[in-house]
């Protein structure tokens, strides 16, 4: 029975996630109900944390509602004798979540700059040298942003595809 009960919460989270798609307030209410159920069980701390992590992963909320949920959990913990998610863990989660989003944005910006540089360098190479052989074109596509910028500066010196090939071999 215990194993079935444990398995039923992730199943319920999955069903509720599907049912509340597009309705953040309803998803918040459902996630809050499931979180309260976790606290009402007589399970050990790690089991509750593990199950909540699954529920949290499935039932994402907008930032404001996520903060509201954490506040509600803090209040609930204050009424319990043994808090399961400490304020330090919540702070770490919040910081990690924010830092992860910022890292993702920075990686996206970097990839965007790289893609723009690659597109420009390919256009300039094609205009200067014509259609590039597949192997050389693939090597250009594999260059880092820094190497693409260097190639952009050097490409006006190329008189042939052989010059480009020699540059790629050196860099």
Percent of the chain with pLDDT over 70: 81
Q: Are the C-beta atoms of 86 and 46 separated by less than 8 Å?
A: no
Window from 53-62, 137-146, 158-167 with minimum mean pLDDT: 53-62
Does position 63 have pLDDT exceeding 70, yes or no? yes
> Where on the phi/psi map is residue 22: left (φ > 0), alpha (ψ -120 to 50), or beta?
left
Report the chain's mean pLDDT, rounded to a whole number: 82
The pLDDT value given to residue 37? 86
Cα 53 from Cα 68, distance rounded (Å): 17
Backbone angles phi, psi at 86, to 5 degrees: -75, 160
Enter the tokens of residue 47. 């089991």
Q: Give yes or no for a contact between 145 and 113, defined as CB atoms under 8 angstroms apart.
A: yes
- Give the pTM: 0.45
Q: How far is the C-alpha of 153 from the C-alpha of 120, rounded, in Å?
A: 12
- 95, 87 in Cβ contact below 8 A? no
**Is the pLDDT reported for residue 81 higher than 90?**
no
For 30, counting Cβ atoms within 10 Å of its Cβ (0-12 exposed, 13-18 middle, 19+ buried), the class is buried
For residues 107 and 30, the model is more confident at: 30
């Amino acid at each position: 029975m215990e194993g079935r009960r444990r398995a039923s919460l992730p199943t319920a989270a999955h069903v509720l996630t599907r049912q509340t798609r597009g309705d953040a307030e309803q998803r918040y209410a459902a996630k809050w109900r499931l979180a309260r159920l976790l606290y009402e069980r007589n399970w050990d701390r790690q089991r509750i944390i593990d199950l909540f992590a699954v529920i949290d992963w499935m039932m994402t909320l907008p930032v404001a509602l996520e903060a509201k949920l954490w506040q509600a959990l803090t209040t609930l913990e204050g009424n319990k004798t043994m808090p399961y998610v400490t304020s330090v863990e919540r702070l770490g989660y919040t910081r990690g979540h924010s830092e992860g989003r910022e890292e993702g944005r920075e990686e996206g910006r970097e990839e965007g700059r790289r893609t723009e540089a690659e597109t420009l360098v390919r256009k300039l190479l094609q205009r200067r040298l014509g259609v590039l052989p597949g192997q050389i074109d693939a090597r250009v596509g594999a260059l880092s942003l820094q190497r693409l910028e260097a190639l952009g500066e050097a490409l006006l010196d190329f008189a042939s595809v052989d010059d480009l090939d020699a540059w790629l071999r050196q860099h």
